[in-house]
Amino acid sequence: MKEIAPELLEQPEVVVADEKKELAELPNLDKWSKVVMRLAPFPSGPLHIGNARMVVLNDYYVKRYDGTLILVFDDTIGSAEKVVDLEAFDLIPESLDYLGVKCHKTVYKSDRLDLFYKYAIDLIKRGEAYVCDCDAGVWRTDHKVKGIPCVCRNLDIPENIARWEKMLDGTYAEKKAAVRLKTGMDNPDPAMRDHVILRISETDHPRVGSKYRVWPLLEYSWGIDDHELGISHIIRGKDLVKEGKIEQHIWSIYDWPQPELMYYGRLKFQDATLSKSKSGKEVREGTYYGWDDPRTWSMQSLQKRGIDPDAVRKVMLDLGLSLVDISISMKSVYAENRKLRDSEAPRAFFVQDPVWLEALDLKRDHAELLVHPDFPERGVRKIPLHYENGKLQIGIQASDLEKLKSGSIFRLKDLANFTLENKKTPQAKFHSIDVNEVREVGGPIIHWIPRDGSISVELAMIDGTKVMGFAEPGLRDTPVGTFLQFERVGFARIYESGEPIRASFAH
């Protein structure tokens, strides 16, 4: 056999697939000496879970090819609806830190107006752009829709330069003139006909004040900057494909190398409403308690809840680069988080709004429970039991008491089995120690806390409400920042010590 067909004896060299499913290669890598990508958030607040796709995808590829990642604050003047918020310049880097994203360089669009002006003049001189003083509404109905050029389009270059000066010096008021790029009035796509690339705005800018009154539009500023910054690959949402086409038009005029454009579809969460403007309003008005309020779905809020950034990254990467609009559930993030963090999370008892139960005849002075059921080597937690006149007060969840029938047997987890004597004024009598006694009859095993020694806990829920309750005494010594599991309640993270201890519910 060995001589006839030795290859059959050898173990086939199975190519072991990478643990992590790799995304597709970036296109045309050979065209570029280095992968350079950029993150371009509009600074109106921290990054939220919906922005994570853009961030994670770009960061992933930069890391994969050892490239450069540039953070570019897209802080042009915006509009009445889109307003730059100064604190976002700090909140966004904070969000990125959480996600483990490292930007090699930070750039502000609002620092680059002179550059945009320089190219604007050049474009006008080349006859590729013109200053249009038509009313926006009239231009839309009479020219764009019909594909008919307006008179401004055919004005000579000196006249256009003169008009440009008038835009800068204030002769033209807001909305009275704008620079249009000659993308073509005969373009079959009305969206592509001679788009405005610079316009007048007298609004004060939070960073540069009233220094400039002519501001670029996104597609123009990027047409210049993607080249100036040496960007090789662009990954962005598909709502920007028209802008991409306009950028390509600009790159063609100058015969610049064309960065690779890639788009992904819209991402919605079935169980989270994402609105940065609404969140901003609620934070300012104090309805939300801050940018780390879970209702903002900001990175800060996820961090506070103890969501591992790698859970977010994993989910985002799993979505890939598809153009389809998708709707996913936060449950997938939670599922990943559980995988990542369940093993580290110590267990504890927490009872919300406890009802007090009098436990009779128990002859133990403490309970011993495992810190983590899967890792007994991590030791035990002790819950001391104090008796007053031979009586022991135990707090249990109202919903658990409700399900119990008088006379039935139940177990206080890791302590003992009891028979419910009285439900109205809750009283239970010691039945037995062995867990099997309750298992055999299918009785419930519930969590509990002793009245004496427990510590009060405020648990911030995902819907913004805060619930009060008590946790076992040992929680006093649990460090701030600990991600733990309240048994039968869910995972949470302690973010503040004291009385009460404050924790944020994760999932």
- Closest to RNA by CB, 219 vs 226, is 219
- Measured distance CA(125)–CA(160) in Å, rounded: 8
CA angle, residues 311, 317, 323, in degrees to nearest 5: 135
- Closest to RNA by CB, 12 vs 286, is 12
Query: Closest distance between RNA and the C-beta of residue 119, in Å?
Result: 16
Query: Closest distance between RNA and the C-beta of residue 489, in Å?
Result: 7
Query: Closest distance between RNA and the C-beta of residue 39, in Å?
Result: 12
Query: Closest distance between RNA and the C-beta of residue 455, in Å?
Result: 20
Q: Does 79 bind RNA (CB under 7 A)?
A: yes
Query: Closest distance between RNA and the C-beta of residue 206, in Å?
Result: 13
- Measured distance CA(215)–CA(194) in Å, rounded: 17
**Long-range contacts for 16-21 (Cβ within 8 Å, ≥24 apart)?**
20/317, 21/318
- Measured distance CA(484)–CA(457) in Å, rounded: 13
Applying CB under 7 A, among 82, 211, 281, 386 the residue interacting with RNA is 82
Q: Does 266 bind RNA (CB under 7 A)?
A: yes
Q: Which residues of 265-295 are buried (b: 16+ CB within 10 A; e: fewer)?
A: bebebeebebebeebbebbeeeebeebbbbb
- Measured distance CA(211)–CA(204) in Å, rounded: 8
Applying CB under 7 A, among 218, 231, 272, 359 the residue interacting with RNA is 218
Closest CA to 206 of 78, 318, 26: 78
- Measured distance CA(448)–CA(433) in Å, rounded: 16
Applying CB under 7 A, among 157, 191, 467, 480 the residue interacting with RNA is 191
Q: Does 100 bind RNA (CB under 7 A)?
A: no
71 - beta bridge partners? 39, 106
Query: Closest distance between RNA and the C-beta of residue 46, in Å?
Result: 15
Using the contact rule CB under 7 A, the part of the chain among 8-16, 148-156, 217-225, 356-364 near RNA is 217-225
- Closest to RNA by CB, 267 vs 501, is 267
Query: Closest distance between RNA and the C-beta of residue 360, in Å?
Result: 19
- Please state whether 28 falls in left (phi above 0), alpha (psi between -120 and 50) or beta: left
For tokens 């320089």, the residue is 118
Q: Does 446 bind RNA (CB under 7 A)?
A: yes
Applying CB under 7 A, among 61, 65, 116, 215 the residue interacting with RNA is 215
Q: List the interface residues with RNA, window 466-495 (CB under 7 A).
A: 485, 487-488
The count of residues interacting with RNA (CB under 7 A) is 81
Query: Closest distance between RNA and the C-beta of residue 97, in Å?
Result: 21
Residue 161 has, within 13 A of its CA and on its CB side, a CA count of: 11
**Alpha helices by DSSP H, 65-183:** 88-99, 113-125, 136-138, 157-169
Applying CB under 7 A, among 134, 185, 272, 362 the residue interacting with RNA is 134
| Residue 34, Cβ density class (10 Å: 0-12 exposed, 13-18 middle, ≥19 buried) | exposed
Q: Does 365 bind RNA (CB under 7 A)?
A: no
- Closest to RNA by CB, 133 vs 289, is 133
Q: Does 166 bind RNA (CB under 7 A)?
A: no
Query: Closest distance between RNA and the C-beta of residue 427, in Å?
Result: 21
Q: Does 414 bind RNA (CB under 7 A)?
A: yes
Q: List the interface residues with RNA, window 275-304 (CB under 7 A).
A: none
Query: Closest distance between RNA and the C-beta of residue 239, in Å?
Result: 5
Q: List the interface residues with RNA, window 422-441 (CB under 7 A).
A: 435
Applying CB under 7 A, among 257, 290, 373, 407 the residue interacting with RNA is 373
- Closest to RNA by CB, 59 vs 74, is 74
Query: Closest distance between RNA and the C-beta of residue 21, in Å?
Result: 7
Q: Does 140 bind RNA (CB under 7 A)?
A: yes
- Closest to RNA by CB, 239 vs 361, is 239
- Closest to RNA by CB, 267 vs 299, is 267
**Long-range contacts for 191-197 (Cβ within 8 Å, ≥24 apart)?**
191/242, 192/242, 192/245, 192/246, 193/143, 193/144, 193/147, 194/132, 194/143, 194/144, 194/149, 194/153, 195/219, 195/246, 196/132, 197/120, 197/123, 197/129, 197/223, 197/246
CA angle, residues 357, 363, 364, in degrees to nearest 5: 90
Which residues neighbour 121 within 8 Å (Cβ) at sequence distance 6 or greater?
161, 164
Applying CB under 7 A, among 165, 204, 342, 361 the residue interacting with RNA is 342
Reported as type and span, the H/E element at residue 62 is helix 52-64
Q: List the interface residues with RNA, window 312-341 (CB under 7 A).
A: 318-329, 331-332, 335, 338-339
